[in-house]
């Protein structure tokens, strides 16, 4: 496989010049590729996400809503 010298930011810029349908197809392909990750990688990614969320809570960057309140709000929207 040929190694690309294009950096992530250049790649993002190029991708954003695609049509919306081309970007949607690329997004779909990328998301589907994540379904094939090894269990260890999935576990590592979830751990990183949990740490990121915990850091946000510690820094007061997010608001916690108790689950019963979330379900109450959802029930009100759909009934």
| First-to-last C-alpha distance (Å) of the chain | 55
C-alpha 16: how far from its chain's center? 18
Query: What's the DSSP call for residue 1?
Result: -
For residue 18, name the pLDDT band (cuts at 50, 70, 90): very high
- CA–CA dist 58, 51 (Å, integer): 10
Render pLDDT for 25-79 as a digit per residue (tens, 0 to 9).
999 999 998 888 899 998 999 999 999 999 999 999 988 999 999 999 999 888 7
Q: Whole-prediction pTM value?
A: 0.47
Q: Which structure tokens are listed for 33?
A: 């590729």
């Amino acid at each position: 496989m040929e190694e690309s010298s294009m950096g992530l930011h250049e790649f993002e810029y190029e991708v954003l010049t695609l049509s919306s349908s081309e970007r949607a197809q690329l997004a779909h392909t990328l998301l589907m590729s994540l379904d094939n990750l090894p269990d260890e990688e999935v576990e590592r990614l979830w751990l990183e996400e949990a740490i990121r969320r915990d850091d946000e809570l510690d820094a007061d960057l997010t608001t916690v809503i108790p689950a019963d309140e979330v379900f109450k709000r959802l029930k009100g929207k759909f009934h």
